[in-house]
Chain A
Amino acid sequence: MAPTPPTDDQLNTLIVAQLASLGIDLDQLPAGTVADPVTGSPGRDSVLASLRSFMRSTVPALAGYQMPTPDAGDPATAMALSQQPAPMLYPSISTEWRKP
C-alpha cells in the first residue's frame, strides 16, 4: 500500500529540518509572503510554498523513474536494475572518452 502523501505542515517540518541540518536558517528571509524591499529576497512563506511544490514534483518524479530494461529483456527481471549504465556527469565528454 502506498504511503499517505505528506501534508503541508509535514513537508514544512521536513524542509525546515533538512535545511537546518545543513546549517541553513530559513528564518533569515522576511516573514510572510512579501519580498525584502532592499534585496528582493522572497518571503519565507513564499519560499516554503515553492519548496513544497519542488518536493511534490521533482523529488518523486526522479525517484519513481524506471530506467529502461537492458536489451529489451523481461521487465520483471530488471526491477533491481543492477546492470544500468553508470551515471555520467558529462555525457558528451564521456562519449569521446569512451571511444576505443
Chain B
Amino acid sequence: MTDVQQPLDRLIDRRAFLARTAALATAATVGTVALPGLAGIASAAPSPASGPAVKFNPELDKGAAYNKPRESVMSDPTEWTLSEAAWMIRHNKIVPVELVQAYLDRIAAYDSTYQAFNLVTAEAALKAARQWANRPYRGPLHGIPLAIKDNYFTEGVLTTASSYLFQDFVPPYDATSVAKLTVQGGIVLGKTQMGPLATSRATLPNGQVTTINAWTPIDPSTNPGGSSTGTATAVAGRMATSGIGTQTGGSITAPSNAQNLTGIKPTMGRVSLAGIIPLTYSRDHPGPLARDAKDAAIMLMAMAGPDPADPRSQGLPPVPNLINAATPRYEGGNLRMRWKTRIGVLPGYADGTSETALARQAFLAKMAAIPECELVEVPLPDEWDLLTGSAFNNVRLPERSEPFMPYLRDDLRGFGVSVTSWLQGCLLDANGYVTGQRAKLLLLERILDQIFGSCDVVVQTGPVPFDIVGLPEIAFPIGFTGGGVPIGTILGGLPYAEDRLLSVVAAYQAVSDWHWQRPPNPPAAASAAARSAAAVPDRGRLTAEEVAELTQ
C-alpha cells in the first residue's frame, strides 16, 4: 500500500486558492480585472444601502403565461387576470398607463370603504407605467400593477408593518421580492394594510380595524383573513391585478380563502426573505395572493430562486417552470391531471353537513372525476395534535422577541396591541426552545412518512402544521356560504412541490368557476359615508387579548 489517506487540508486545491487570492489582490490594485465567479458574488451581495442584485428572468416569458381575456370581461381591465392583462399588453391592445389608471380609478372610488391600502403611490406608478411603455418587453409582468404588503421594504417609500416601531421607516432599497417583481416589469401601486407586525387581521397599531372583506363591504365584522388582509382586499376588490403577502401562521392562506383568491405559500427558502420585516425567521414565507393558479404561478416564479442575501434560499433545487405547471392539460379535448396525483384526505376533513363540509365534499368529488386523480385516505401522523398544538407552536416566540430587544427595552407601548407574544418569547427557556426544534424535525419526518407515503398532496384543515415545518401550501376557492362569503380550502405538498400544487389547482379551476366570481362594488352610500370621516361607522377595535388569540 502506498496510499495513506491525507488529512482534509491536503485535499484542498491550494494552488487554485492561491491563484484566486493573487488575482483578487491584483483586482484590488488595478480595480478593473473581472474575476469570473468571484466578481459575481461581490456584485450580488447586497449592502444595506444598495439592496439586492436581481436579474430579468426570460423563463417567465412563456406562451402559457398569456391568456386572451374572456369575452365577458373584455371591457373592464380591472376584471382581467394577470395572464389576461399580460396578453392584452403583449398584443398592444392596451398600454401599461391605461391599466394603471383603471386601477387608480377604482382605488379612488372604493378604497375609502375597503381601506386595503395604507399608501397609494399613484404618481410613481403612472411614471413607471409610462417608462415601461418605452422599454424592451419583459414578459407577463410588463406593466402589471401590484399591491405590496407593508412589511416588504420599498425603496424610498414608507414601510411601517402597521407598527409604531416603523412608523417613520423609509427603506433605502427594495426587498428582494419587490426588486424581482419590478425588474420583470411589475408596477407598485401601493403598500397594503396588515395586522400589526404581521399579527391578526389588518388594523392600526392600536387595534383599530381598518380593512374589510371585499365580499362584505357593509359588514366590517366579517373576517377578511389576516395578516395579509390589505393585499387580499386589494386583489379581490379589483384594486390591483395581483399582490404579495407573507405567511408565518396562515397569513397568505387565510385571507386568500376568506376573499376567493388563490394564494400560495411556498416552501421555506424558495423565496428570499431579505428586506422583509421579520416576525418569525424560521417560519416567515413570502408569497403571492392572486386571482387563479396561473397568476399565482407567474408571481411566484418571478419571486423565487436563490438570493445571496438570504442563506435560507440557497442550495435548494432549481425553480421549475411553474407557469407550465399551472396550465391545465388536455388530451383530445379532455382535461387530465398534468401529473398523476393522489390527493390525501385527512380524517374529518369533509365530515358533517356544514356549508364548509358540503363545499369540501363537492371539491373532492370534482377532483375524483378528473382522470389520473385519485383520492386516498391518509392518517393523522402520531402525536399530531400535540406537535402542532399551542405549546409547540409557541416555540417560535423567542425568534420574535430576540431581534426586537432594543424596542422591548425602550418602550413596550411601541408594540401597541400586539405586545403580548413578544413578552412571551422572552420567557420561553432555552431548554424548551431546543426541544421544540427537535420536535419540528420529528413532525416533518412523520408527515413525510405517514402522510406522503401514500399521497402526493394533502388537504389541510389549518395552515399551522405546514408552517411549522416549512412545507408549501396553496389556498383556493371552493364555494360560497349562503350569505355570499367565500369558502376556500388548502392543499399541502412535499418540499419544493409548488409545481404539483399549482397543477392540481389549475385542474380544479378548469372544471369550476368559483375563482371567476367577483364581489359586487360597495354600495354608493357606503363609499360616500366612508369618505366622510365624521360619518365613518366605527369598525371596532381588537384588544390585546384578541390579538394574542389570533396571532400565529
Most buried by A among B423, B437, B470: B423
Bound state CA distance, A96 and B270, in angstroms? Answer: 12
| Alpha-carbon gap, A21 to B495, bound state (A) | 41
Question: Is there contact, CB below 8 Å, between A68 and B442?
Answer: yes
B544–A85 contact, CB under 8 A? no
Residues of A within 8 Å of B441, CB to CB, are 85-88, 91, 94
B358 at the interface (CB under 8 A from A): no
28 A-B pairs with C-beta separation under 8 A: A22-B409, A22-B426, A24-B412, A28-B411, A28-B412, A40-B416, A41-B413, A41-B419, A42-B544, A42-B545, A46-B544, A50-B548, A58-B424, A58-B428, A61-B391, A62-B431, A65-B386, A68-B382, A84-B438, A85-B442, A88-B438, A89-B440, A90-B269, A90-B312, A90-B470, A92-B471, A93-B495, A95-B448
A38 and B413 alpha carbons, distance in the complex (Å): 9
Set of chain B residues within 8 Å of A63, measured between Cβ atoms:
429, 431-432, 435
Is the CB–CB distance between A18 and B427 below 8 Å? yes
CA–CA, A39 to B469, complex, Å?
Answer: 34
Say yes or no: is A78 at the interface (Cβ < 8 Å to chain B).
no
Residues of B close to A22: CB separation below 8 A: 405, 408-409, 426
Give the residue among A26, A39, A46 with the most B Cβ atoms within 10 A: A39
Instruction: Please report the C-alpha to C-alpha distance between residue A71 and residue B205 in the assembled complex, in whole angstroms.
Output: 49
Given A24-B409, A41-B412, A92 and B267 touching (CB < 8 A)?
Answer: yes
Q: Give B contacts to A, CB under 8 Å.
A: 164, 205-208, 267-269, 282, 312, 315-317, 382, 386, 390-392, 394-395, 405, 408-409, 411-417, 419-420, 423-424, 426-429, 431-444, 448, 469-471, 495-496, 541, 543-545, 548
Is the CB–CB distance between A65 and B435 below 8 Å?
A: yes
**Contact A41 B442, beta carbon cutoff 8 Å:** no
Contact between B315 and A96, CB atoms less than 8 A apart:
yes
A41-69 contacts to B (CB < 8 Å): 41-42, 46-47, 50-51, 54-55, 57-59, 61-63, 65, 67-68
- Cα(A26)–Cα(B444), bound, Å: 37
Contacting pair B444 A50 (CB below 8 A): no
Enumerate chain A residues within 8 angstroms of B419, measured Cβ to Cβ: 29, 41-42, 47
Task: Decide: A62 near B545, CB < 8 A? Known: A26-B412, A50-B420, A96-B316.
Answer: no
Residues of chain A within 8 A of B207, CB atoms compared: 40
Q: Nearest Cβ in chain A — how far from B433, in angstroms?
A: 8
Chain A interface (Cβ within 8 Å of chain B)?
15, 18-19, 22-26, 28-29, 35-36, 38-42, 46-47, 50-51, 54-55, 57-59, 61-63, 65, 67-68, 84-97
Shortest beta-carbon distance, A72 to chain B, in Å? 12
Minimum Cβ distance to chain A for residue B276 (Å): 16
Q: Tell me which of A22, A40, A50, A88 has the highest count of chain B C-beta atoms within 10 A of its own C-beta.
A: A40
Q: How far is the CA of A94 from the CA of B495 in the complex (A)?
A: 10
Output the nearest chain A residue to B468 by Cβ-Cβ distance: A91
Query: Is A67 a contact partner of B470 (Cβ separation < 8 A)?
Result: no
What residues of B have a CB within 8 angstroms of the CB of A40 in the complex?
205-208, 416-417, 541, 543-544
What's the Cα separation between A63 and B423 when bound, in Å? 19
Q: In the complex, are the beta carbons of B545 and A57 less than 8 A apart?
A: no
- Give the docked Cα–Cα distance between A47 and B547 (Å): 12
A28 to B427, CA, bound (A): 18
A35 to B418, CA, bound (A): 12
Contact among B205, B420, B433, B443 with A47 in the assembled complex (CB-CB below 8 Å): B420
Return A99 CB to nearest CB of chain B, in Å. 10
Give CA–CA (A92, B431) in the complex, Å: 23
Assembly CA distance A22 to B48 (angstroms): 28
What is the chain A residue whose CB lies nearest that of B542? A40
Measured between alpha carbons, how far is A18 from B430 in the docked complex, in Å? Answer: 13
A28 and B416 alpha carbons, distance in the complex (Å)? 12
> Once the chains bind, are B438 and A93 in contact (CB under 8 Å)?
no
Q: How far is the CB of B83 from chain A (nearest CB, A)?
A: 29
Cα(A42)–Cα(B416), bound, Å: 8
Contact across chains for A35 and B544 when beta carbons are under 8 A apart:
yes
Contact A90 B268 (CB under 8 A): yes
Q: Are A95 and B420 in contact (CB under 8 A)?
A: no
Nearest chain A CB to B431 CB, angstrom units: 6
Bound-state CA distance A63–B435 (Å) is 7
Expressed in whole angstroms, the Cα–Cα distance for A89 and B152 within the complex equals 23
- Which of the residues A25, A58, A86 comes within 8 Å of B391, measured between beta carbons? A58
Report Cα–Cα, A18/B267, bound state, in Å.
36
**A87 and B469: CB pair below 8 A?**
no
Contact status B205-A50, CB under 8 Å:
no
Q: Among A18, A19, A85, A95, point to the contact of B438 (Cβ < 8 A).
A: A85
